Every structure is written in C-alpha cells, then in structure tokens.
Amino acid sequence: MKKLVFVGLFLFQFTALTAQDQNSPNIILMIGDGMGLSQITAGMYSIGNTTALEEFETIGLAKTHAHEQFVTDSAASGTAIACGEKTYNGVLGIDPKNQYLESILEYSQTQGYLTALLATSSIVHATPAAFYANVDSRKKYQDIALQLSESNVDYFIGGGRKHFVTRDDKRNLVKEMSAYEMVNTLNKFEKSQSKKIGFFTDDDEPKRLSEGRYPDLDKLVVATLDKLATRKKPFFMMVEGSQIDWGGHANELNYVLSEFEEFNNAIASAVAFAKKQGNTIVIVTADHETGGLSLLKGDVARNTVSGRFSTEGHTAAMVPVFAFGPGASSFSGIYENTSIFKKMKVLVQ
C-alpha cells in the first residue's frame, strides 16, 4: 500500500512538473537598438511597404527615460527592460541605491528555463550585457566578459572575443569556460551537439551588414531556435538588432535601412517558429530612438524613402512594443519600459 501511495505521489509530481513546462511559454524578446517608429516606417517602405511586425496582434508604447535623466542610453534602458528598474545612464544591472538586480534571464534560469543571447554587436555591449551583468560602467568590458563566463547562459552569439582572451588579468576565459563548445562559424554551431555553445562572430565589434557581416541575424535566430526546440524545456531568448542604432548615430539612413531589413527577417523567423511550435510569445521593442529621424519624402511604388536626422545621439521618444502569442494582450497600452520586465516575469511561472 505504501508503495502504491509513493508511486501515485511521484506520478502526480511528475505530471505537475510536466504540465508546468508545457504551460510556461517560451519567450523571444527582440530589441531593435535605436529603432523608433520612424526607423520602422522607413524600413517598411524600403522593403515593399510591408513588415513582419504586421503579424502582431498587440501594440503598446514604452517610455524610455532613465533615472533622473530625460534621454536614456542603452545601459539604463537595457537594465529597465531586463531587470525592471530605472537606473543611471551607463550603469548595468544596478539600481540607483547601488543594489544588484536580477534580470529576466536570470529569473528564468531559476524557473528551469533554457537561455540564449544573440546580438549583432559584441556580446558584452550594453544591451546584451544588461541581461547578465552587474557593473557600474558599461565600458568595463573585461568585467562584463567575466560575468558572462559565469552566467550559465546556454547559447550566446556575438562579437567581442578579445575581451575574453586579451585581458589585463592575463586570464583566458574561453579556456576557462570548459562547459562550452566554442565555435566560429554557423556551420559548426549548427552541427554542435553541445548543450552549451558560444559563437564569437568577431574579435571586436562586428562590421555592418552592408560591409559583409555574416551570418545574417535571421540565420542565427533559426539555428538557435532549432537547438532550443529539441531540448523540450521552456526558454528565454533575447535577440538584438544592435546596429540600427549605429546607423542612427552615424546619421546614415541607408545603414539604418539595411540593418532594419535584417532585423525584420529575424522577426519573421521568430514568428514562424511561434506559429509552428505554439506556446511561444514574441516581443519586439526598442531600448530608445536614435537620431531623431524625420521622414520627409518617399515613393511607395519605388520603395524609396528619405529623411533628416536631428541629432547624432538618442531622443526621449516613446518606442513601440509589439507582442505575438500567449500573454500578448498584456503588452498593450502606454507604460514605463520597466513594465516589459514585469509583464515577462508574470509569464515565467
């Protein structure tokens, strides 16, 4: 009788855990750095007056200001989205009272989620770093690299290898990360059977797409999702289209447009996965707008658009938030960017 009770209890617990895994949605958070509404509009018209964002049933607006600063930088805004607290510009994962914050990626790990980080910048750049690092300056790349090496992220893809191997402390973090298989091509990433993979796309910052950056972000998204799907566990994945921002800083509209098109393709791949796999929410937003872009002329039939930038820096404009999948309706409305973290955390149960 005792054996029957024990077996019954075990089966009940196993069933409950399995049900929890099945009910916990996969989260794909996609951040177009510097991608305000004007960048989206320009990109849409330049690729045939259509965008993958038209698939999304829910749209909201996020306020981007930093703590006591009207115009945010990527560290403060990344921290707000990743950790749910406003902080000072330049600070990652630490609140104004100097308290370390837990990111949505780290919280997801405590709930049994797999995790992945992809960026078209270096992997230690401000936005991806906000999901695993706690530092008082976004420029402390070697400290950030050390924290990534200790973060237990399952898959990461981005540039910045030099911060792991050419260090003031003489440590080689790549060698120390013995649990990871480190690869340097998409083919090796796809073929790897390791449960932890690091893919450095560049020794420093990756080049712009128009100068031959490879692989394209959508290929990286598909390859990573393929791996996550085989693991039979819920996952959190953050994908950054980093260089939309860099095009804004350079006041080069063509740079913005090419980077947006790549990011749009990555969004389409994520949505296709969500439709096929089910139980997956895709959230697309920006950390801030860059360049103060105004669109002044264009030809819809010819897929052309022209405009003018008002600054080489960021602006305080609200940014759109798009959501597709289970829980998407909670992302409608106007709210602080810190609410994105809070809305995601509710889903990770």
- What are 236-262's pLDDT values in tens digits? 999 999 999 999 999 999 999 999 999
pLDDT for 276: 97
Say whether pLDDT at 8 is over 60: no
User: Given a cut of 60, is residue 7 above it in pLDDT?
Assistant: no
Domains and CATH numbers, the chain: 30-347 (3.40.720.10)
Say what the pTM is.
Answer: 0.93
Tens digit of pLDDT for each residue in 144-169? 999 999 999 999 999 999 999 999 99
Assess contact for 29 and 344: CB atoms under 8 A: yes
pLDDT band at 22 (very low <50, low <70, confident <90, very high): low
